[in-house]
Structure 1
Amino acid sequence: MTDSIIYALDFDGVICDSALETALTGWKAAATIWNGMAETAPPELVEQFRAVRPIIETGYEAILVIRLLYAGETTESIYAGYGEKAQALMADAGLTVEGLKQLFGDTRDQWIAEDKAGWIAVNPLFAGMAEKLNRLGSNHDWYVVTTKQERFVKKILNANDIELAADRIFGLDRNMSKPEVLKGLQRSHPGRPIYFVEDRLPSLQNVRKHSELAELRLGFALWGYNLPQDKTQAEAEGCWPIHLEDFLEGDAGFGRA
């Protein structure tokens, strides 16, 4: 595989449709901070969460988004002022980012310990993705580049019979930005083309700020957690919008694998 393409894939929104699990974990965690929240998240609030999911970069933010929705914020009001609302909520409750990350991971761990099958069930891979990744692995080197904690990525991949070495999963645990991870992959695989597939436009825009990464091919996963208007902007900024069926078939300029 010395001359083959390197695929760097985001996880949530590209490989795994984790919106439901993220919402439910966010609710469980939020209920330990704020009294009065029922044990089970209302279905209508979970649906609202899915609409707001594109704004979330890292899983722990689900705790804040769930609480904002529970407090009566609309999806529109959250989009209009998410940063300020999240900061105010954290300040009011005396929360820190590191504390929320820890709580979110611990809440997942407890759920898995109590009901691993149930947790896996609400973390489905997108249809056809498992077959694609197993096929990809026979022709190319591929990596996961995510803000998710690595142990959860491993559990979901293993549950879907997908083998990926631990050193090919770059997650939250490493305290590295996605551009830093991608630069490392460039150094590890000099001269080989790298295709980065991501569903969040801001993440792709952040990669484009780094001149060292100018040679990367950036794929914008339209099946993930993004907004319709993001497609036009992605194209205008040199990213390649990809439909799921094209990615699964290996078309859209991302190699047949």
Structure 2
Amino acid sequence: MSNPIIHAFDFDGVICDSAVETAITGWKAAGRIWPDMQTAMPETLIDSFRRIRPIIETGYEAILAMRMLQQGDTIGDIYNGYTDRTQTLLQQAQVSTDDLKLLFGDTRDQWIAENRDEWIAMNPLFPGVAKKLHALEADSWYIVTTKQERFVSKILRANDIKLADERIFGLDRNMSKPAVLTGLLAQHTGQNMHFLEDRLPALKSVQQQPGLKPVKLLFALWGYNTREDKAEVAAQRDIVGLNLEGFLN
């Protein structure tokens, strides 16, 4: 009998299509820093945000990304100078990344308090994913994400998906994804572990850890990644590209 598989799933871009909500929250939060953004967000920026979403590692960065778009930076500008542009904005606004994390979470909390149903609706699960998660044994999977854990819990509960809080590893724990996976691997000695993630840099960070060699790395092709990412994965063997149909089956 084969060992059961332990699944570790990223959340945004794998389980939840949160791009629209992230963009709107980023815009609302940015308005609390830059007064000229205290207006309704132009809908045309949604598509632009989706196109730059693959470069964003953690949700709070949407505050800076929406500022860049509002200021007229092109998609190419943002991809080519993202780090420099984020540092410039942080310095100009005299805020830290910790400040932005708190602001982003607070802006989400406020939206939920005002209109929870609208917020949930802006965080749909990818088609078929809820059914897939319902079919998994409750003790066979974890969420490993940079999202704050309370928001993951709210979205899962809204979709009637039961997962214990201690199985959600989010931003609150201040742990890298390789560190989380190292701990999980130690807990599940002798079991196979799969990590499904849509950001290639995150998978590469796991790949670089010798102690995580036993973890099978799966790249969610339906998530927030680029054509270049997909081509890179297709050309090598250590990370396996997986489409949504393959995941569901």
Indicate the TM-score class for this superposition, using the shorter chain for normalisation.
Answer: over 0.9
Q: Secondary structure at the match of 1:164?
A: coil
Q: Distance in 2 between matches of 1:239 and 1:2?
A: 22
Q: What corresponds to 2:196 in structure 1?
A: 197
TM-score, normalised by the number of residues in structure 1? 0.94
1:117 is matched with which residue?
A: 117
Who is 1:173 aligned against? 172
Partner-residue secondary structure (3-state), 1:36: helix
Equivalent-residue separation in structure 2 for 1:241 and 1:98 (angstroms): 34
SS across alignment from 2:142: strand
Question: What are the residue-to-residue correspondences of 1:1-257 with 2, within 5 Å?
Answer: 3-137=3-137, 141-235=140-234, 236=236, 238-249=238-249
Mapped contact 2:8–2:142 kept (Cα < 8 A): yes
SS of 1:23's equivalent in the other structure is helix
Q: What is the letter of the counterpart of residue 115 of structure 2?
A: D
> What residue identity is the alignment partner of 2:211?
E
CA distance in 2, matches of 1:230, 1:31: 32
TM-score, length of structure 2 as denominator length: 0.97
Percent identical among aligned pairs is 56
C-alpha RMSD over aligned residues:
1.3
Task: Measure how far apart 1:38 and its partner are.
Answer: 4.0
* Separation in 2, partners of 1:102, 1:2: 44
Give the letter for the 1:187 counterpart: A
Structure 1 stretches of 4+ with a deviation exceeding 2 A read none
Unaligned runs of 5+ in 2: none
C-alpha displacement of 1:230: 0.7
> How many Å apart are 1:42 and its aligned residue?
0.5
Where 2:32 maps in the other structure, the secondary structure is: helix
How far apart are the structure 2 equivalents of 1:247 and 1:229? 21
Task: Give, in angstroms, the shift of residue 3 of structure 1.
Answer: 3.0
Shift in Å at residue 232 of structure 1? 2.2
- Give distance in 1, aligned partners of 2:169 and 2:2: 21
Q: Which residue identity is paired with 2:248?
A: L
Counterpart-to-counterpart distance in 1, 2:144 and 2:32 = 30
Q: Which amino acid aligns with 2:194?
A: Y
Task: Give a deviation string over 1:14-72, Cα, whole Å, max 9, x none.
Answer: 00000000000000000110011243210101110111000000000000000000001
In 2, Cα distance between equivalents of 1:97 and 1:89: 11
